[in-house]
A and B are shown apart, each in its own frame.
Chain A
Amino acid sequence: MQDPIGNLYNWLMGWLVSWGVDQAISNILLSLVGIVILVTIAMVLDVFLVWIERKVVARFQDRLGPNRIGPWGIFQPFADIIKLLIKEDTTPNGADVFVFNLAPILSLASVLLLWAVLPIAEVVFGVDLNVALLYIVAAGAIGTLSVIMAGWSSNNKFALVGAYRMVANMISYEIPMVVILLIPAILTGSMSMLTISQSQEQYWFVLVVPLAALVFLISAIAELGRSPFDLNEGESEIVSGFHIEYSGMKFGLFYAGELLHAFTFGAFISILFFGGYNGPGVTQMPVLGVFYFFIKAMIGYWIIMWVKYTVPRIRIDHMLYFNWKFLVPFSISILVMTAVMHKSLSGYETPVYVGGMLAANLVLGWITIEILRAQARKQRKMDDPNSRVVAELTH
């Protein structure tokens, strides 16, 4: 029970070698089997996520949600999938057929690539890359590419404008995300997700850098293109943006990719800041980490859904203003403060260290709020009294 994946691998390897298969080829075969199993788990989870999403949004909106098909509507996603499969698969006139078909595949693939580096438990993970944090940014870049391919190949002005906005959004919010991803790397000294999870055994990083967790949450929601940053694909805004010309299972791939991406980012927040698979009893039985990981990832996903169904949509110029004029300087100042405090406090024992970093975070947060307040006051004096609401929204 200590190392289930390792034991399974050794047993299967011995079995294959005893059949006469070459060592290297059986290694590749077993890797392929592992990839298929991991992707299957991710996609089955995705189906479950559709149900959770619909139930949670219903409860937030004070209604029941799907409850006809199966107990508590639990077979609703299967009905959705059957509906998507039997819909007509249109390709718009004048579209670039190869690129049009490639875009949803790339979009879902870029999310599944992220599952390769998630440490689900200390002994259950895809691969322990030593550049895992940067790999996450790279997979996000492929997602950005798929958006612009979808928007361009649809031969539709609304799709193109929606794709432009979405790409502008995604590449703008990558900057605070990358800067914040540097912070666990500073605290741990490694970019590997497994090492980051392992070094949170004593205290979670959210106690040490809560501001960074907050900024990562905001930029993750913006990267996903979810509300409140979903101007680019809201149906009442731009007629669902780059999704317009996609119907049937292609749209299903986009939708599934978005939900899985949201869950994966919930998992990242839990790994980077909330301890990942750590919890009581994990050192004796590492497989228990799987349970803790999924609970924490679900809580992270629930927070993302909570923000989505509570906050109204933000306009595109406000979105970009918020990023470039607030989040980028803020995240860089968090980075500098964390680096300085980590270096100066690293000799002391744990309670002094945690307390010192937390105090520094609170001081920085208070200074930021005071600066924002002063700016809002100045803006209010400049505008008329009845546009005070606009001033408070833009700052």
Chain B
Amino acid sequence: MKVPALPVIDRVLFTEEQVQQRIREVAAEISSRYNDGNLKMIGVLKGSVFFLTALARELTIPVKIDFLSISPFSNHTKAPGVVRIAKDLDEPVEGEDVLLVEDIVDTGFTARYLLQTIAGREPNSIALCTMLDRPARRIVPLKIDFKCFEIPDRFVIGCGLDYKQLYRNLNFLAVLKPD
């Protein structure tokens, strides 16, 4: 694999081959758990798109897919408001086995809110899958059912993760160069 020489990259954390291999392994776990064919994967826009797509391709079971996104936080006003669903699911999840797919879980804020929201819609079960788990930043305790990698306390780009909306399309995971 050829890694492009980008000035923002400090070092490669996981190569394309390592990412693909791990996604295959996690997909096998998911296929085994949900072999009754009732799985719906829900991706969180935008970061999880790349991971969810790669993961879904490796599954050996039928799967439905849906997406949602949440409103961004802004500190520009004194009243920061509260998080809301900016793009809701296209279809209900009632009675389905939902797998929320995240690119990264660090503080746990987003995953907690989304899990709570989805749980209220009467799914048969709900679980969390993330490509990256950064436990050093965890504030909200969460049960992560499936994860590809646990990463150190660094800013990571690639495979859907961005810096200023760039570098999501990198096929590997890299640590952003500090400043």
| Bound pair (A, B) | no
A interface residues with partner B (beta carbon < 8 Å): none
B interface residues with partner A (beta carbon < 8 Å): none
